[in-house]
Structure 1
Amino acid sequence: MTDGRRGCMEAIRVFTLVAATITTGLSAGLFYAYACSVMPGLRTTDDLTFIQVMQRINVAILNGWFLLGFLGALVFTALAVALHLPADGHRVLPATLGALVCYSGSLAVTRIVNIPLNNALAAAGDPERIADPVRVRGRFEARWVRWNTARALLCTAALGFLCWALVLHCHTTAN
């Protein structure tokens, strides 16, 4: 590989690692904020308020900025893995693979647990017309909180792996 091509590949690898780290950090921060402030803050509200707020948040969060971080973390991390498959990138490969596994785990939790719970909460309808809001909240809150904490931990682990990958990449290119 020529020096120019090698330099271009290194720039792409660094950009991809940085983009993966930033987008994963955004997702980790979001789940952390829910775990440490949003859900504890809602814990003391009445059932109707809790349902109404969560329904509104679940609608508002589905926007381009959220999706950029949420899906961008998967895309950039997978790309970082692919770009570090060649022999000259192998030193960083275990850390990027660890990040991809952890982030994919958080997506699996989201898909299998949190989204169905959000959908069930939305299907309950207008909080003012719910016959048994205690039951609706009870079927949602504890399970959603528990699995959101798992997502926060998985995303934080992925972020840690990506930070380590950046350290390894910088150390490798400095030598």
Structure 2
Amino acid sequence: MNALRTVSLLLATVTTGLMAGLFAGFAYAVLPGLSRVDDSSFVTSMRAINAAILNGWFALCFGGALVCTMAAVLLHLPADRRAPLPWLVAALVLYGLVLAVTAAVNVPLNDRLAAGAKLADPGELRAMFEGTWVRWNVVRAVLNTAALGCLGWALLIARSVAG
């Protein structure tokens, strides 16, 4: 059981870290770069990115962060293994907020951008999309990074209790 607890916590940390890196990379590199291109290039690029990201690797990390963090929480419920539990629960709540923002804001905006008629004015599509998507992506990056920090701290606590 110790090995399963350790593996679930490690996988939760890795997948959460990969998601935090993705959202942060968008916040400090991809979107600032795209802010420098014309409206048509922006819309075309974001449509292509939004289509390309829907793949197995993304799904593994996006869903894996939730599943592995939930598993780590459940496996640390026994009384003698609860030391990292507050940090695991905090990570789970923070990642749940990431999922909520994604579902409530970013995905609907992605869908609206994809559904925009090819002949629609790219400037209007960009104005509808960019500001809100960028702001909420930064929120996701911060929440996800905080979740990663909680999982890192949980790893340290679990190691000190086990060691």
Same fold (TM over 0.5): yes
Cα deviation 1:70-89 (Å, max 9, x = unaligned) = 00000000010000111011
Please list, as runs of the form range in 1=range in 2, the aligned pairs for 1:42-121 lying within 5 A after superposition. Answer: 42-121=34-113
Tell whether 2:136 aligns with 1:147: yes
Q: Which amino acid aligns with 1:169?
A: A
Matched to 1:170, the amino acid is R
Query: Normalising by structure 2, what TM-score?
Result: 0.99
Asked whether 1:136 is paired with 2:128, we answer no
Structure 1 residue runs of 5 or longer lacking an equivalent are 1-8
Deviation at 1:68, TM superposition (A): 0.3
Higher-Rg structure is 1
**Aligned equivalents of 1:44 and 1:163: distance in 2?**
36
**Superposed displacement of residue 125, structure 1:** 3.2
Distance 1:12 1:133 in 2: 50
Distance in 2 of aligned mates of 1:55 and 1:93: 40
Identify the match of residue 151 of structure 2 among 162, 169, 173.
162
Superposition RMSD in Å: 0.6
Report the AA paired with residue 49 of structure 1.
S
Which residue of structure 2 aligns with residue 31 of structure 1? 23
Deviations 1:116-175 (A, max 9, x none): 00000000033xx22x2211100100000000000000100000000000000000011x
Alignment partner of 1:13 is 2:9: no
Q: Whole-Å Cα distance in 2 between the matches of residues 89 and 71 of structure 1?
A: 25
Structure 1 CA distance for aligned equivalents of residues 110 and 24 of structure 2: 18
C-alpha distance in 2 between matches for 1:125 and 1:148: 24
Q: Distance in 1 between matches of 2:3 and 2:104?
A: 36
In 2, distance between residues paired with 1:36 and 1:125?
29
Secondary structure (helix, strand or coil) at the match of 1:91 reads: coil
**Structure-1-length-normalised TM-score:** 0.92
Percent sequence identity is 53
> Which blocks of at least 5 consecutive residues in structure 2 are unaligned?
none
1:84-113 residue CA offsets vs partner (Å, 9 max, x unmatched): 111011111001001000000000000000
**4+ residue runs of structure 1 moved beyond 3 angstroms?**
none
Distance 2:115 2:5 in 1: 44
